[in-house]
């Protein structure tokens, strides 16, 4: 059996251009309360010619939570229970996938095997959170894409006391690039969610302490307002939901430039 695998951070999109028969598995970042299930909805498409894809009707997709072996605790967990679903005529499939009893960042493993025995895999970032903790919604456009020491310190302070979920109007296929931009700018990790009707309300039902939103773009502002979030500036949100004191954005002076204290 031929296995074709690709690790994607932010969005699971697998496909090879130029020849037909390849499959694309697309799913957004997953967020779930610890000890609960991730409500997975994905799309399966088959490449016909070049960059033209059509829904893969009746394609069977296997779904399973996989730990990121960054800690001994995660490495000991092993994969979670296996779930599977067939895609409908539009290529959509869904299932409730158990996430386990440990908080942290995991990966949702998606896999499809075609009739020739070729297997296509994708890994979707999955954030398993304590439902009792604070969660803050942040519009990605409210953050500079380049280094900004003040806002980077405010985001670090916010992340020390709250989970962060990023919202965007960009499509799921662009979320991997957004994750990279956030990382390069020095902002904390967090799931990226596309602005869609009902998604924020569902998150608030699962995480009751999702009460504050930071937004700059008009559509995201209206989206947060409609869901009943209290809209604050980043500075206000960091002060309200932040944890440890933010780091000093100013670099320390070189040792040679620091005057020696007088002897007693």
pLDDT higher than 80, residue 116? yes
Per-residue pLDDT tens over the stretch 13-31 = 443 334 567 999 999 999 9
pLDDT value of residue 53: 87
- Share the mean pLDDT of the chain: 85
Q: In this predicted model, which residue has the larger pLDDT, 261 or 166?
A: 166
Mean pLDDT of 221-247: 91
* Percent of the chain residues past pLDDT 90, beyond the cut: 70
pLDDT value of residue 72: 64
Q: In this predicted model, which residue has the larger pLDDT, 9 or 41?
A: 41
Per-residue pLDDT tens over the stretch 146-194 = 778 999 999 999 999 999 999 999 999 899 999 999 999 999 999 999 9
pLDDT value of residue 245: 58
Q: In this predicted model, which residue has the larger pLDDT, 116 or 48?
A: 116
pLDDT higher than 50, residue 57? yes
Per-residue pLDDT tens over the stretch 198-208 = 999 999 999 99
Q: Of 214, 202, 205, 203, give the one whose Cα is nearest residue 241.
A: 214
Domains, in order of start, for the chain:
3-129 (2.60.40.10), 135-241 (3.40.50.1000)
pLDDT value of residue 78: 77
pLDDT category at 224 given cuts 50, 70, 90 is very high
Per-residue pLDDT tens over the stretch 244-258 = 755 444 443 343 333
What pTM does this model have?
A: 0.82
Per-residue pLDDT tens over the stretch 60-101 = 999 999 877 556 666 667 789 999 999 999 999 999 999 999
Are 17 and 51 contacting, i.e. CB atoms less than 8 angstroms apart? Answer: yes
């Amino acid at each position: 059996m031929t296995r074709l695998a690709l690790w994607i951070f932010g969005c699971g999109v697998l496909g090879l251009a130029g020849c037909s028969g390849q499959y694309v598995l697309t799913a957004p970042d997953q967020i779930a309360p610890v000890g609960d299930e991730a409500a997975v909805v994905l799309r399966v498409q088959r490449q016909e010619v070049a960059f033209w894809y059509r829904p893969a009707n009746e394609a069977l997709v296997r779904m399973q939570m996989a730990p990121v072996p960054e800690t001994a605790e995660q490495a000991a967990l092993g994969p979670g229970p296996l779930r599977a679903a067939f895609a409908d005529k539009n290529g959509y499939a869904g299932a409730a996938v158990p996430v386990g009893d440990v908080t942290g960042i995991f990966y949702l493993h998606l896999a499809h095997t075609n009739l020739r025995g070729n297997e296509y895999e994708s890994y979707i970032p999955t954030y398993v959170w304590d439902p009792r903790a604070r969660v803050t919604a942040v519009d990605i456009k409210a953050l500079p894409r380049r280094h900004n020491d003040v806002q980077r310190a405010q985001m670090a302070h916010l992340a020390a006391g709250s989970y962060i979920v990023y919202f965007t109007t960009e499509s799921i296929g662009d979320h991997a690039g957004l994750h990279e931009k956030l990382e390069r700018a020095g902002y904390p990790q967090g799931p990226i969610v596309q602005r869609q009707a009902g998604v924020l309300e569902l998150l608030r039902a699962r995480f009751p302490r999702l009460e504050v939103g930071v937004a700059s773009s008009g559509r995201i502002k209206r989206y947060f307002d409609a869901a009943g979030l209290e809209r604050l500036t980043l500075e206000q949100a960091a002060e309200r939901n932040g944890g440890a004191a933010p780091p000093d954005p100013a670099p320390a002076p070189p040792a040679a430039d620091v005057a020696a204290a007088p002897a007693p």
